[in-house]
Amino acid sequence: TIDLVAYNAALSDEPFEVNKAFHQDPDPRKVNLGIGVYRSEQGEPWPLPVVQKAEQIIHQESDPSRHEYGAITGDEDFLSAARQLVFGPEDDGNRQELARVTSVQTISGTGANHLGAMFMAKRFKPTNVWLPEPTWSNHYTIWDFAGVKCRAYPYYNVNTQMLDFERMIEVLSTQAQRGDVIVLHACAHNPTGTDPTKDQWEQIAETCQKLRLAILFDSAYQGFATGDIDNDAWAIRHFFRRKPAMNLCVAQSFSKNFGLYGQRVGACHFAVDSSSIEDSVRSQLAYLIRAEYSMAPSWGAGIVKRVLLDPECYREWKQDLLTMSRRILKMRSALYSTLIELKTPGSWEHILSQVGMFSYTGLSPAQVSLMRQKHHIYMLKSGRISLSGLQPRNVVYVANCIDSVVR
């Protein structure tokens, strides 16, 4: 058996390494399908129009306190808006439920995963944390650092190119221990682009409830799976509303859905199974934050707050999300239809059925290496490509190169 922690820790830097190699390659045909960031049709970074608008408003206001220290747990207005994005709007039906949730600002999704792991490790003392196989490799690094034993549950079946649902439930049911933590990707699973159906989510929730697992939802792509933020939060909201209540943590990132990668905007939300311990959750989180970074940065969170609280900006943001998700969908179908036209050996339906920024192509490590050496196309060893690296001008080239390496 391989050492999963060491294996994934090594992979954890891979997108950055691939990105660097791409930039050093002088070949004009080169294509970067490695790193998970959105790019325009011209292959350029795309600062969201609504983000630029909010930045301008904030600049114009020139509030003299804008660079002051904030609260340890973060900006409450930002957190309230972020929480409602995850768990649904605070209306009469949801107000009492939302009161069970403690939210703190974090250093983006990575910081939220880390804080969640540190907190859950201390509070629930799990024997294991269960991570999907495969997963975002940093999950291993983060949980290993938190001192919890990492175990893998079957998630993706490379032969069927589908969710390995039965085996997932079977392994969890027979091997997970009461009080263990399970990490689930809220939507647009990284790296496979394969999400459970609603029916499967219900069965997963039931299994977690039966086994008394604590749940950490990693939510880094809300709005990217379907272009609709409510749809993309369906699984989290389903778990949240089930009775009896489960211990649920959500690690929320605004890197992708606001294009604020370097600003490090995120939140960690805890819904505990009893409201009486809410205060102790907040003070434990504040303790961890204070010891590590005192408070999360304020600038990017200020932009997100502005957009989420201003009805006009909010509408524009949803439009920007559609612009990004539709472009990615267009590239999915262009890649798929070109492979079909070329009669490329193998089945390629998974490219269409997978969701979000990534596609798990099924290319082997040797084929991935050929793509790079021979065709200057950069992707991860796992065969994962970021569809945002595809453009109308390179998609036919990429399809032809895939065709040539699989023949």
Cα dihedral value 9, 144, 203, 239, nearest 10: -110
Q: Which of residues 247-286 bind ligand PMP (CB under 6 A)?
A: 253, 255, 261, 266
Distance CA 377, CA 31 (A): 5
My answer on whether omega of the bond before 244 falls inside 30° of 0, hence cis, is yes
If one asks whether residue 8 binds ligand PMP (CB under 6 A), the answer comes out as: no
Rank residues 357 and 390 by Cβ distance to ligand PMP and give the closer one.
Answer: 357
130 belongs to the catalytic site:
no
If one asks whether residue 359 binds ligand PMP (CB under 6 A), the answer comes out as: no
Catalytic residue among 256, 305, 317, 320: 256
Residue 276 gets which letter from DSSP?
A: G
Candidates 105-113, 202-210, 229-237, 386-394; binding stretch for ligand PMP (CB under 6 A): 105-113
Tokens of 348: 């390629």
Rank residues 98 and 183 by Cβ distance to ligand PMP and give the closer one.
Answer: 183
Could you tell me which of 240, 275, 300 has the C-alpha nearest to residue 105?
Answer: 300
Under rule CB under 6 A, how many of the chain's residues touch ligand PMP?
14
Q: How far is the CB of 51 from ligand PMP (least distance, A)?
A: 15
Q: Which of residues 291-330 bind ligand PMP (CB under 6 A)?
A: none
- Who contacts 334 (Cβ-Cβ below 8 Å, separation ≥6)? 390, 392, 395
Q: How far is the CB of 310 from ligand PMP (least distance, A)?
A: 23
Catalytic residue among 218, 317, 320, 348: 218
Catalytic residue among 46, 136, 143, 348: 136
Tokens of 142: 């983060």
218 belongs to the catalytic site:
yes
Q: Are 164 and 35 in contact (CB under 8 A)?
A: no
Q: Which of residues 186-205 bind ligand PMP (CB under 6 A)?
A: 190
46 belongs to the catalytic site:
no
Candidates 41-49, 68-76, 104-112, 208-216; binding stretch for ligand PMP (CB under 6 A): 104-112
If one asks whether residue 388 binds ligand PMP (CB under 6 A), the answer comes out as: no
Q: In what order do the strands lie in the sheet with 101-107?
A: 101-107, 265-271, 248-253, 214-219, 181-185, 128-133, 149-154
Entry field: residues in the chain: 407
Q: How far is the CB of 185 from ligand PMP (least distance, A)?
A: 6
My answer on whether omega of the bond before 28 falls inside 30° of 0, hence cis, is no
Could you tell me which of 108, 107, 136, 111 has the C-alpha nearest to residue 15?
Answer: 136
Per-residue contact track with ligand PMP, 35 to 74, x per CB under 6 A? Answer: -x--------------------------------------
Residue in 75, 144, 218, 320 binding ligand PMP, rule: CB under 6 A: 218
The strand pairing partners of 163, in sequence order, are 156
Tokens of 58: 């904030």
Catalytic positions: 136, 218, 256
